[in-house]
């Protein structure tokens, strides 16, 4: 094991190389630029390619091209670049192309605040492209070390599910310097729980089988398989079609290959959840670190508080929200995004609250005040989970 005091960006690049990524295409954008910089250094070292694209739309298309040729590929960006992925992302979902996308959140909308953390793309990563009729896999680390582990996992899942997998981080995770351990031997990788899957080749003739099964090799061009790959709805052989019955078969696969195998990738962290606490604090990414500290402090004060930290964001883990309780969603945005899903998933007689902050972390003391207010049965919101005052 090699230890570094390094950024999440560094950790992500190391993970990609270890996971077998051999083509990175990107476009500079704060706070993900250093991922591109690290990849430009590390790719040639492992015999891979670094491409600087004309824009993010081109970048993800280049990754698709590389993946279609049989390489493992990755791209990384932040919100304003992520929306330019909308076009290729749909192509990659529809054509079932394995690759990894990293999004390091900053403060939006538009170019917003470039160098501060935000969580404005909670729904964007679920619906990264148009048209609907698909499911997505999104993983959210809350540290540089976990970013390393989840990037490796994302490559693994992308191969098994033949789909792009998104890592949703934020500026503090990618830019922040932390203690990072990078495994060097197979044993150390195993110890860390890392999983790997080599690229396989689909020899057809049914390149797009109408099944929810996973572990079907993806289309690889240049192997004389006669594979076809397009942006249109494919028949099982890959021909373009206008038949609704074919569209139904295709999107059934896109949705249920993921929904029916959630056990393969579902991850979360529970804290003090065993005694059915009255208040459950829900978060993901960097805010979850403050939440954890605040919940621990609250327990010491004797408050009945627990925490759910989501690692798999999508498909949304509805199964974690079966208990009737008071839920508080703590997020890096002012509009409330995660809270909407919590409200949807939790029993209807639960109470749902939202605390949002952008650019900087909430203080532990203010979270403790919030916890007490909610446990006392007082509202922190006037209408549903919207905050009373700004």
Partner 1 sequence: MDYLAEKYFRTRKTPSTACSGCGLGQAQKMLTKAMYDLGLELEDVIWGTSIGCAGRQTFGMWKGDGLAGTHGRVYAIVSGLALALPEGKKIVCTVGDGDAFGIGLLHLLNAARRNLDVTIVVCDNLGYQSTGGQYGWSTPEGSVTDSSPYGMYEPNWIQDGRDVLNIIREAGATFLARHVSMDGEFGVKSMEKALLNKGFSLVHVVYPCTTNYASTALGSRNAVNIFRWIQNHSCRLEEEGGKDVIWKTGVYHDASNSRPDFTTLMRDKLEDIKRRLAS
Q: Which residues bind partner 1 (CB under 8 A)?
A: 23, 25, 44-45, 47, 49, 51, 53-55, 57-59, 61-71, 73, 87-88, 90-91, 221-232, 238-240
CB of 213 to partner 1, least distance (A): 24
The residue among 42 and 144 lying less far from partner 1, judged by its C-beta, is 42
CB of 325 to partner 1, least distance (A): 45
Strand pairing report for 164-170 and 351-356 = unpaired
Cis before 31? omega within 30: yes
The residue among 45 and 275 lying less far from partner 1, judged by its C-beta, is 45
Contact present, 314 and 380 (Cβ < 8 Å): no
CB of 153 to partner 1, least distance (A): 23
CB of 165 to partner 1, least distance (A): 18
Q: What does each C-alpha distance from 245 to 4, 126, 167, 189 come to in angstroms?
A: 53, 25, 33, 44
Q: What does each C-alpha distance from 176 to 9, 148, 288, 366 come to in angstroms?
A: 8, 13, 15, 23
The residue among 4 and 50 lying less far from partner 1, judged by its C-beta, is 50
First to last CA, the chain: 47
The residue among 49 and 334 lying less far from partner 1, judged by its C-beta, is 49
CB of 255 to partner 1, least distance (A): 21
The residue among 192 and 221 lying less far from partner 1, judged by its C-beta, is 221
CB of 283 to partner 1, least distance (A): 36
Taking the CB of residue 166, how many other CB atoms lie within 10 A of it?
27
Write the DSSP assignment of 230-259 as a string of letters. Answer: -SSPB-TTS-B---HHHHHHHHHHHHHHHH
The residue among 25 and 279 lying less far from partner 1, judged by its C-beta, is 25
d(CA 330, CA 353): 9
CB of 88 to partner 1, least distance (A): 7
d(CA 219, CA 121): 30
CB of 240 to partner 1, least distance (A): 6
What is the chain's Cα-based Rg? 21
d(CA 352, CA 341): 10
Residues 6+ apart with CB under 8 A from 331: 119, 122, 283, 287, 337, 338, 339, 354, 355, 356, 357
The residue among 23 and 279 lying less far from partner 1, judged by its C-beta, is 23
The residue among 163 and 283 lying less far from partner 1, judged by its C-beta, is 163
The residue among 219 and 310 lying less far from partner 1, judged by its C-beta, is 219
Taking the CB of residue 365, how many other CB atoms lie within 10 A of it?
10
CB of 106 to partner 1, least distance (A): 25
Contact present, 108 and 119 (Cβ < 8 Å): no
Length of the chain: 390
CB of 141 to partner 1, least distance (A): 26
The residue among 88 and 118 lying less far from partner 1, judged by its C-beta, is 88
Residues 6+ apart with CB under 8 A from 21: 43, 48, 71, 72, 73, 74, 100, 155
């Amino acid at each position: 094991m090699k230890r570094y005091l390094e950024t999440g960006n560094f950790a992500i690049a190391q993970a990609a190389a270890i996971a077998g990524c051999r083509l990175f295409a990107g476009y500079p954008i704060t706070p993900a630029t250093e991922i591109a910089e690290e990849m430009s250094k590390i790719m040639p070292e492992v015999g891979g390619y670094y491409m600087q694209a004309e824009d993010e739309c081109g970048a993800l298309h280049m990754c698709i091209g590389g993946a279609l040729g049989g390489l493992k590929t990755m791209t990384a960006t932040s919100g304003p670049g992520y929306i330019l992925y909308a076009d290729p992302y749909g192509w990659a979902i529809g054509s079932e192309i394995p690759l990894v996308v990293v999004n390091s959140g900053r403060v939006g909308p538009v170019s917003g605040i470039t160098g501060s953390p935000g969580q404005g793309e909670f729904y964007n990563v679920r619906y990264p492209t148009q048209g609907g009729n698909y499911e997505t896999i999104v993983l959210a680390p809350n540290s540089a070390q976990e970013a390393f582990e989840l990037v490796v996992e994302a490559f693994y899942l992308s191969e098994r599910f033949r789909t792009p997998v998104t890592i949703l981080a934020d500026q503090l995770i990618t830019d922040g310097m932390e203690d990072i351990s990078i495994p060097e031997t197979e044993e150390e990788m195993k110890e860390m729980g890392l999983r790997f899957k080599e690229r396989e080749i689909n020899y057809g003739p049914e390149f797009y089988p109408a099944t929810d099964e996973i572990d079907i090799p993806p289309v690889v061009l240049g192997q004389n398989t006669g594979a076809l790959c397009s942006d249109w709805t494919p028949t099982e052989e890959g021909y373009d079609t206008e038949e609704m019955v074919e569209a139904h078969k295709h999107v059934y696969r896109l949705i249920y290959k993921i929904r029916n195998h959630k056990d393969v990738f579902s991850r979360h962290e529970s804290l003090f959840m065993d005694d059915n606490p009255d208040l459950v604090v829900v978060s993901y990414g960097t805010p979850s670190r403050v939440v954890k500290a605040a919940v621990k402090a609250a327990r010491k004060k004797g408050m009945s508080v627990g925490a759910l930290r989501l690692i798999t964001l999508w498909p949304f883990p509805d199964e974690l929200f079966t208990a009737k309780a008071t839920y508080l969603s703590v997020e890096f945005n002012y509009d409330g995004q995660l809270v909407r899903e919590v409200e949807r998933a939790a029993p209807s007689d639960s109470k749902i609250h939202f605390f949002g902050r952008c650019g900087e972390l909430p203080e532990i003391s203010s979270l403790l005040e919030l916890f007490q207010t909610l446990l006392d049965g007082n509202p922190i919101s006037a209408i549903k989970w919207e905050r009373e005052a700004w």
